[in-house]
Amino acid sequence: MATLTASPAAASHYLEAIERAERDRAHEPAWLRQARRSAAEAFGRMGVPTVRDEEWRATNVAPIAGTPFVTAPPASVPAGEAVGFQVPGLAGPRLVFVNGRFAAELSATGVRAAGVTVSTIADAIEHRPESVEACLARHQDYAGQPFAALNTALFEDGALVTLADNTVADEPIQLVFLSTATPAPAMSAPRVLVLLGSNSQARLVETFGSLGPASGFTNAVTEVVVGGGSVLEHYRVQRESESAFHVGRTEFRLGRSSRSSSYAFALGGRIARHDAVAVLGDEGAECTLNGFYLAGGSQLIDNHTEIDHARPHGTSHELYKGILGGRARGVFNGRIRVRPDAQKTDAKQTNKALLLSDEAQINTTPQLEIFANDVRCTHGATIGQLSQDALFYLRTRGIGLDDARSLLVRAFATDVTGRIGLEPVRAELDRLLASRLPGLLAQEVRR
């Protein structure tokens, strides 16, 4: 295969990794090799973004460009440690991946419902390539998405979830991606494809975690196709170590009168970026993109969302909230596009950040691009500190200052976590937040 032409920004270690991957995947079907090749070329042209790229101007990923990540080595994780990253009380199929590779011994692949399949994507490509050919890596043009291109070029494994028409997956499906601490900085690129036929229903939980102080780079892509009349509930919990790098992209393609609601929680990462994208590609689709992030120390958490109203009568709800302490930075960019054909669109975007310290920062940008005239689109952003009045009120009732602060911060989070439909996930998030908050509040630099 021809050598990749590359911009200087495409750090050479990524190109080497791509070329090695191409050699290893000679057995893959031609269409996939072609898709990977064009993704590799797209990445080669774009390289790792810099702050000069519009989509990355608030998030400097120079450390990701500059670190010579190697492909994460295979590793085994004791079941006792892996279990800490599963949502307690969530029965049903579970696929666990360690450093981007399937860990059968940690997984539970049995699926009860007929018409539902849960498998690894590597297995599907090898044994049932026709099951993924129509959708895998087919929707992306990679413009402005170098990391998604890199994922397509590099991914080794991940999950494939399919639901036939008129199927209900009664048990939530859980995907867990773990990274271990490695001697040399390592990267993994998990890939998930979820295909819901028409009038089907599924709940999906994705968790990204680190074992110990892993400082690797996770570059994840999840594509979800929601067929006409189908209903999807999706949860993404990113709780990697505070020294890890994480870039993720989740795309939802919604069919006619389908509904998806998604929650993206970002708690970990030294630099963590997530793009949540929803394309309302047919009439009457409804999507919810909610998110919550918590950052302290010198963490940088970036959430980009994009809702593309392409057809009439679409509805979108968006609520992103974040708590920033220490010297942490948050970025929120919410784009809503209403195409000329998408009349009667109803879109609402809300973004709120709570700053606990003087040195924490948030950059928030709504981007409304409205090309239809009979639509309702609202957006609002607020940035605030803990209310002194509320703190005083609580204290006059005997509640100590630390408890009062913690109560108010949790109340701020409850606005999002309280909407979680899947009870075990809500309980897990409450637990994760409760365990992080004391440390975050202790970092407070008093105003």
| Residue ranges in contact with another protein by CB under 8 A | 387-390, 392-401, 403-404, 407-408, 410-412, 414-415, 418
CB of 268 to another protein, least distance (A): 24
SS3 339: coil
CA torsion, ordered 293, 294, 299, 300, to nearest 10 deg = 20
CB of 6 to another protein, least distance (A): 50
Query: Which of these, 110, 127, 135, lies nearest to 195 by C-alpha position?
Result: 135
Nearer to another protein, 105 or 402 (CB): 402
Nearer to another protein, 85 or 412 (CB): 412
Report whether 220 contacts 193 (CB < 8 A). Answer: no
Characterize 125-141 residue by residue with b for buried, 16 or more Cβ atoms within 10 angstroms of its Cβ, and e for exposed: beeeeebbeebbbeebe
Nearer to another protein, 212 or 418 (CB): 418
CB of 287 to another protein, least distance (A): 25
Report whether 221 contacts 191 (CB < 8 A). Answer: yes
User: How many Å apart are CA 354 and CA 279, to the nearest integer?
Assistant: 29
Nearer to another protein, 212 or 400 (CB): 400
Nearer to another protein, 1 or 411 (CB): 411
Nearer to another protein, 352 or 436 (CB): 352
Record the tokens describing residue 36, joined without a space: 């990977």
SS3 434: helix
CB of 292 to another protein, least distance (A): 13
SS3 80: helix
CB of 350 to another protein, least distance (A): 13
CB of 290 to another protein, least distance (A): 15
CB of 396 to another protein, least distance (A): 5
Nearer to another protein, 183 or 398 (CB): 398
CB of 387 to another protein, least distance (A): 8
Nearer to another protein, 40 or 354 (CB): 354
Q: In what order do the strands lie in the sheet with 286-295?
A: 101-102, 94-98, 173-180, 201-211, 231-239, 259-266, 286-295, 315-324, 346-355, 376-384
Nearer to another protein, 57 or 410 (CB): 410
Nearer to another protein, 135 or 408 (CB): 408
CB of 412 to another protein, least distance (A): 6
Return the residue matching tokens 């930075």: 329
Within 10 angstroms of residue 91's Cβ, the number of other Cβ atoms is: 12
Report whether 274 contacts 238 (CB < 8 A). Answer: yes
Record the tokens describing residue 201, joined without a space: 């229903």
Give ∠ CA 148-150-152 in degrees, rounded to 5: 70
Nearer to another protein, 66 or 400 (CB): 400
Using DSSP bridges, classify how beta strands 116-120 and 158-163 pair: parallel, antiparallel or unpaired: antiparallel
Query: Which of these, 99, 147, 92, 101, lies nearest to 121 by C-alpha position?
Result: 101
CB of 410 to another protein, least distance (A): 7
Backbone phi, psi, residue 290, to 5°: -115, 155
The DSSP output letter for 237 is E
- To which H or E segment does residue 154 belong? helix 146-154
CB of 418 to another protein, least distance (A): 8
How far CA 367 is from CA of 67, 308, 313, 371, in Å, comes to 32, 12, 20, 13
